[in-house]
A and B are shown apart, each in its own frame.
Chain A
Amino acid sequence: LAKTTQPISMDSYEGQEVNITCSHNNIATNDYITWYQQFPSQGPRFIIQGYKTKVTNEVASLFIPADRKSSTLSLPRVSLSDTAVYYCLVGGPSNTGNQFYFGTGTSLTVIP
């Protein structure tokens, strides 16, 4: 199973771009990379998913190098409301709950 490694915490000032990198050295060929966001007292919420290269949506961008052993979630111009825990997950189409390793995530604190 592809487990992930992320920094435990990060701080950023409002308006800055934040990049959170996740390592997944044993990612499998058919695995996708998915990022979730969790606010206090809420369940995680899907942000973005990718397989290779770059994916962008209205919330974030996801950069995946050619070897796919890592990925970087990029949050442009963060605001205070982006303070949350961000989880990187790796898994394939046939995987189910126990095969998505949420880990401890990265706790992002946005400072005014």
Chain B
Amino acid sequence: GAGVSQSPSNKVTEKGKDVELRCDPISGHTALYWYRQSLGQGLEFLIYFQGNSAPDKSGLPSDRFSAERTGGSVSTLTIQRTQQEDSAVYLCASSSSRTGPGRGYTFGSGTRLTVV
């Protein structure tokens, strides 16, 4: 597609339920990133994919968080047993190369997750 597409745009879920967030990157972009942005805060790195592998999972806040990427394209971020502190905007970005000093990131509009 023309840009990075994320779905759903908004998600309200009950505490303890599992949620899946989807990211469809720009076609041909090999690198994919997930970030989290809490209200009024900066972006918190979660995980990075190069192709289908995730060389850097250092930002995942707990083992309730997992992510996968298939076919070098779509990625899914799964949060199990959601907690209220998981409420945030989850942003996905893709870039055409693993290297490049932060220039080539194209972000989606994010998924706003609210845990009630």
- The size of the chain A interface, using a CB distance under 8 A, is 27
Given contacts A97-B45, A100-B45, contact A34 B101 (CB under 8 A): yes
Query: Smallest Cβ distance from B92 to chain A, in angstroms?
Result: 8
In the complex, chain A residues whose CB is within 8 Å of the CB of B93: 43, 97
Q: Is the CB of B42 within 8 A of A95?
A: no
Query: Smallest Cβ distance from A19 to chain B, in angstroms?
Result: 21
Stretch of A65-73, A75-83, A85-93 on the interface side: A85-93
Nearest-CB residue, chain A, relative to B59? A98
Taking beta carbons and an 8 Å cutoff, which residues of A are in contact with B? 31-32, 34, 36, 41-46, 49, 87, 89, 91-98, 100-105
Taking beta carbons and an 8 Å cutoff, which residues of B are in contact with A? 4, 31, 33, 35, 40-43, 45, 47-48, 55-56, 58-59, 91-93, 98-105, 107-110
